A and B are shown apart, each in its own frame.
Chain A
Amino acid sequence: MTQTKTKLGRRNFILAASAGGAATAAAIVARTASKPKPVAADSDKRSGKGYQVSEHINNYYRTTKV
């Protein structure tokens, strides 16, 4: 009886160890993949609203033709 209990404990330990290892590996992969790139953040900061033709601009172009 005592021998059977010892066997089950060892199996549980091995199962638990392998499951824990897999979970740690998955967490590392997820963290690496979700880490934001500093270059992308910088380029976002520098991208603003630029030139767009408006009525105001068309009016300016018209006045230069005088």
Chain B
Amino acid sequence: MARMKFLCDAERCIECNGCVTACKSEHEVPWGVNRRRVVTINDGVPGEKSISVACMHCSDAPCMAVCPVDCFYRTDDGVVLHDKDLCIGCGYCFYACPFGAPQFPQAGAFGLRGKMDKCTFCNGGPEEDRSAVEFQKYGRNRLAEGKLPACAEMCSTKALLGGDGDVIADIYRERVFKRGKGSEVWGWGTAYGPGKPGAAPAPAAGAKS
């Protein structure tokens, strides 16, 4: 069974925000909601790194753990989805998520928080596949059409990889091998410390974190 994953190659990402635009356009995401965005570390400093972030469809998802109405579920492909009919818009998932993936439309008066919205890995929701109701609530179901997420497919530099985790890992491993140095995945230095092969260089003086 395939397990769907995203991986952003920080060496290739040029901060074009094409993935963000593709996502908003494909799913007709309302104003104020960004299912995906590009984060730049040390912006403006030579050697800055960018990474495209959305729901990472965690294997042990904190949002699922904290949801008081249990509206989250995981598909057979490892995609974390939610049921908007059950969501009460409490925002617990937003506080729990380390990536800030859950989004809440704030179109209502008095700061009213609507139903949570997040990246679906282009796999819709619990409604019937490719139905009008599913599109209206969750966006297009590209996986059911035999396609992959629009953000990954249209990435011009193929920095953002999405699909079967095993295939994605092989593609990335091959890239690292061709570069002839260590892994440049964003966060490597944070996770494994400096001084190791492929560790992120120390930020320049005055660099923003």
Chain A residues engaging chain B, CB cutoff 8 angstroms = 45-54, 56-57, 60-61, 63-66
Contact = CB atoms under 8 A, between A and B. Distances in A.
Interface string B125-169: 011110000000000010110111000110000100101100100
Interface string B165-182: 001000100100000000
A61 B147 contact: no
Contacts of A51: 2, 4, 77, 143, 163-164
A60 B148 contact: yes
Interface in B19-40: none
B77 A50 contact: yes
Contact of B129 (A49, A53, A63): A49
- The range of chain B's interface size is 20 to 34
A40 to B, nearest CB: 14
Contacts of A63: 158
B61 to A, nearest CB: 15
A17 to B, nearest CB: 49
Question: 4 nearest interchain CB pairs?
Answer: A54-B146, A49-B144, A50-B77, A46-B126
Q: Which of A45, A46, A48, A65: most chain B CB closer than 10 A?
A: A48
B146 A48 contact: no
Nearest to B76: A50
Contact of A57 (B76, B77, B128, B146): B146
